[in-house]
Structure formats: structure tokens, C-alpha cells
Structure 1
């Protein structure tokens, strides 16, 4: 009977302190980078400035927002391109037009809902104001 034991190798020391620090901050997220930069400015301003330049140079500061925007642009380019099949292109055009109409209808529904809520709140305010004015008038008469 053979037993198998798995051993975990310790982290390699091939990485320098800078690489380990960078990967640690990457694991923690953008907030950790910003916090490190602020602390760098507080304790020794050249360190904070160096971190700021590094974050801009390596695009760590804007990475997720730029990625999201480029995906959206790629999708819109892809959705408008022709496939070469006229029947499918016509179906896609009709479907996109229908979805845009549904979105427009839904947005107008939401606007009507907001308007109705605003009107109800305003009517409640005016009723409360009229009641308060009536109560003040009755209190002055007595």
C-alpha cells in the first residue's frame, strides 16, 4: 500500500520585494493602491509621487473602467456589422428596433410613475399645509 503525501512548496524567492508588494496590492484591489499612494504622500512625498506615476504608467488606476468601455464599443461595432445573410440581418434589425421601442416605452412608463409619485407627494404637502392653516385659524379664533 502506497501513501501519497502532498507537500506545499514555500513561495519562491525569485520575486523581489517590489514584485511581491505589487502582487499583494493587486490582490487587495484599487483601493489598496490608492491607500498606499496617500500614505506615501503623507510620510514621504516622493514615494507617493512615484506610486502615482507608476499607477498611471501601468494603467492600474484606470484599468477596469477602460476595459468596460472598450467592451461596450466592441459590442456596438459587432451589433451593427453585417453578417452577409440578409434574412438574419433583417431579423436583427427588427429585433433591435423592437428592443429600442420597448426601452423607450419603459422609460416613459417610469417617467409617468415618477410624475404620479411627485404629484401625490405634492398633494399630501398641500393637504397638510391646508390642515395646519385651518388649525392655526381655529386656534386664533378661540
Structure 2
């Protein structure tokens, strides 16, 4: 029965595991604590979602070494197409990340310039000498 529940939760992803943990804490706190410990021990809490983990193995993705390499499908034309698509998507991701970095830098510069302008405006009246009272 426990394997059935585990499989059912895995099919629904990390959100289902978190909901089960919260409900466990609400109805019987040791059950919620046990679910939390199991999620941490089985790496469901901090790893990729359970559903993605199962699908990645089903479709042949190798996570060993962190290189994201794929096994050969046996069809060289498909493998070449897949590698080209992955390379193109990685290039697009790098270009997008570069764009976001430039956007952040421009925003930071704008905010810094506004700060310096405000600082200069508040410093001018204090620096101006007051006329002597007669």
C-alpha cells in the first residue's frame, strides 16, 4: 500500500508531496514529520520534481556528471537533429541570460544615477551660505 501511495504522489509531483506533508502535520503531527524526513531522505524535497525525474529516465536523459548528455536513439538522423536543437536552445539561453544581465546593469545604473541626483539636490541647499540677518 505504501508503494501505491508513493507512486500516486510521484505522478503528481513535488506539490502533492508537500500537500501530503502539510496534511500530515494538520491531522497527526508525527505523520507530517515522518513525511518530511522521507522527502529529505529520498531527495524529493530538494531535487527536481518526482515527475520530471521519472520522465527524464524514461526518455533516456543521463544526469551522470551533470553534462546532460543523451543516449543514442539508434537513429543517426534523429540524434543529429536532437543535438543541433539542443545546441541551438543552449545558444538561445545564453543570449537571453546575457540580455537579462545587460537589463539588470542598465536598471542598476539608472537607479544609481537617480540616487546621485537626489543626493546632489539635497546637498546643494545645505552647502549654500545663508544671508546674514540684519
Asked if residue 127 in structure 1 is aligned to residue 110 in structure 2, the reply is no
Q: 1:55 aligns with which of 24, 35, 38?
A: 35
Q: CA deviation at 1:31?
A: 1.3
* The structure with more radius of gyration: 1
State the distance in 1 between where 2:122 and 2:39 align.
58
Is there any run of 5+ residues in structure 1 with no aligned partner, and where?
Answer: 1-25, 39-47
TM-score (norm 2): 0.60
Q: How does 1:1-142 map to 2 (within 5 A)?
A: 29-36=20-27, 38=29, 48=30, 51=31, 54-55=34-35, 59=38, 65=45, 67-68=50-51, 70-71=53-54, 73-74=56-57, 76-77=61-62, 80-138=70-128, 140-142=129-131
Is there any run of 5+ residues in structure 2 with no aligned partner, and where?
Answer: 1-16, 64-68
Which one scores higher on RCO, CA 8 angstroms, separation ≥ 6?
2
Distance 1:93 1:124, change over 3 A: same
State the distance in 2 between where 1:68 and 1:109 align.
31
Match of residue 10 from structure 2: none
TM-score (norm 1): 0.57
Q: CA RMSD in A?
A: 3.3
Q: CA deviation at 1:36?
A: 4.1
Q: Paired residues, what number?
A: 103
State the distance in 1 between where 2:32 and 2:23 align.
13
Q: CA deviation at 1:82?
A: 0.9
